[in-house]
Amino acid sequence: MERKLENAQGKGRASVGRPRVSDFSPSEDPREDIVEAAARLFSTKGLANVSVREIAAQAGLKKASFYYYFASKDAIVDAMIEGLLDPALAIQKRLGKAELSDAARLYLYLREDTVALCAAPYDCTWLIANCDLNDPRFQPYVKQRDQLIAWLAARIRKGKSAGTFIDCDAGLIAKAMLSATENSVAWVDRSAPRHIGDAAQELAALLLRGILASEADFAGIKAEAETFSL
């Protein structure tokens, strides 16, 4: 999802601004470079163990220049999580209106969510492992993530009722499926769209097959899914 980031004073900013100080290859938006640099550092070191100086250096900026774009490290986190799950919710909304079986909807969501996550400019899955999700500022993110899980669980329950899926704990399986797509960024080869697409199909197939009452149904479900274009 593309969105316009604002500087610490609330004004939109493009490529002009404070000078770079390293051989870092910047984009046209220094704020996005800062966010991407912070995400890389947060994912490897944890939020509490990363300093503003480190983030600025990763983005090719001096520490003083950092504050031209963000008021604090917390402000970066706020920029990261704002609308973070909107693309996934949009996928579910479109699939909810599609004339497809719940199994096909589930397959398509798992595939497309993996593609979207792996094609994103930075990885925010560190939030789940390294942040206190009881913190009030994370509640919008938590609420949206719960919505994603509830939608997945509903598809699983309906698939169970139709005899397509095995008897299982729909809520638990939904959480496991979402975790699987979220953590795909850790192992998928993200160097080319083709690699992401191939991995997304394999992961979606693996997750769906795990709950199918009959393995023989998979080919038909996949064929049905391919008739719908997101």
**Quick check: 7 pLDDT over 70?**
no
Q: Domain containing 178 — which CATH number?
A: 1.10.357.10
Residue 188 reports pLDDT greater than 60: yes
Q: Considering the chain, what percentage of its residues have pLDDT values greater than 90?
A: 67
The encoded tokens of residue 93 equal 């909304």
Average pLDDT, the chain: 87
- Asked if residue 230 belongs to a domain, the reply is no
Rg of the chain in Å (alpha carbons): 20
Residues 54 and 109 in one domain: no
Same domain? For 209 and 122 the reply is yes
Per-residue pLDDT at 27? 64
Q: In this structure, are 76 and 93 located in the same domain?
A: no
Same-domain pairing of 171 and 192: yes
Evaluate whether residue 210 is within a structural domain: yes
**pLDDT of amino acid 93:** 97
Q: In this structure, what token pair is assigned to residue 42?
A: 């947060």
Q: Which residues are 12's β-sheet partners? A: 6
110 with 60, same domain: the answer is no
For residue 47, being part of any structural domain is answered with: yes
Percent of the chain with pLDDT over 70: 88
pLDDT band, very low/low/confident/very high, at 26 (cuts 50, 70, 90): low
Give pLDDT tens digits for 69-86: 999 998 998 888 888 899
Confidence of residue 25 (pLDDT cuts 50, 70, 90): low
Residue 33 corresponds to which tokens in the numbers above?
């470079």
Residue range 165-190: mean pLDDT, rounded:
96
Q: Which residue has the higher pLDDT, 17 or 188?
A: 188
Give the C-alpha separation, 131 to 119, whole Å.
23
198 shares a domain with 112? yes
Whether residue 53 is found in the same domain as residue 100: no
Mean local confidence (pLDDT), 97-125: 93
Q: Is the pLDDT of residue 102 over 90?
A: yes
CB 71 within 8 A of CB 8: yes
What is the model's pLDDT at position 13? 38
Average pLDDT (36-49) is 88
| CATH code for position 61 | 1.10.10.60
Please count the structural domains in the chain.
2
- Find the domain containing 166 and state its range: 86-225
pLDDT at 62 over 50: yes
Last residue of a domain, one of 63, 80, 97: 80
Say how far residue 172 (Cα) sits from the centre of its chain.
20
